[in-house]
Amino acid sequence: MNNRLEKLLEEIKALEFSITEELRKKKDEFSYEINKRRIQFTEEVVFEQKQKIIAWHKYIMHARLRNILTFPIIWLNLFPAIFIDLVVTFFQLTCFPIYGIPKVKRSDYVIIDRQYLPYLNIIEKLNCIYCGYFNGVLAYVTEVAARTEQYWCPIKHALKMKSNHSRYSKFSDFGDGENYQEKMREIRKDFDDLKP
């Protein structure tokens, strides 16, 4: 990887660290603690926020008709999400050890925590659980696919992609056929950045 690209990646990591620090400050601002992945607000905050709940029946009565009509279609997507979650988990548990690819920690991607927000009613909490699960599964599957691609086909695309996955910067450049097989063997093993 060239020096300019390495420098840009370091800048991105520094920015991600800054974002994490800013998010930590929000914990103090909104008076919550995290204990064993469970979020706990102070009693005072819980009381204040529960005053803001819109009762579920009022929530439904004020919902737009299009939201009510499309609700079953949205929730129908849960079944393929569960299926791909199971298949991809089975795939990485069986194949990654064979290839020497570090496993993706599913709990780093599938985050379901918004149901702890005291100001949400039961419908909003269920919707938040759905979105946390669905988007988390997609992120998890993307990371499993990225590590698989790094092992099997670590070549960048010629065409510009809208976004790149976490392993893409390690890939060889499109059209760089010189010593390709040797480079590919190196890239296949280059998971050092994932070690704690």
Contacts of 128 (CB under 8 A, 6+ apart): 114, 115, 117, 120
Phi-psi region of 176 (alpha: psi -120 to 50; beta: other; left: phi over 0): beta
**Residue numbers in the chain where pLDDT is lower than 70:** 1-2
> Looking at residue 83, what is its pLDDT?
98
Residue 92 near residue 140, CB atoms below 8 Å:
no
Give the pLDDT confidence score for residue 191 in this predicted structure: 94
Task: State the Cα–Cα distance between residues 165 and 74, nearest whole angstrom.
Answer: 26
What is the rounded radius of gyration, in angstroms, for the C-alpha atoms of the chain?
22
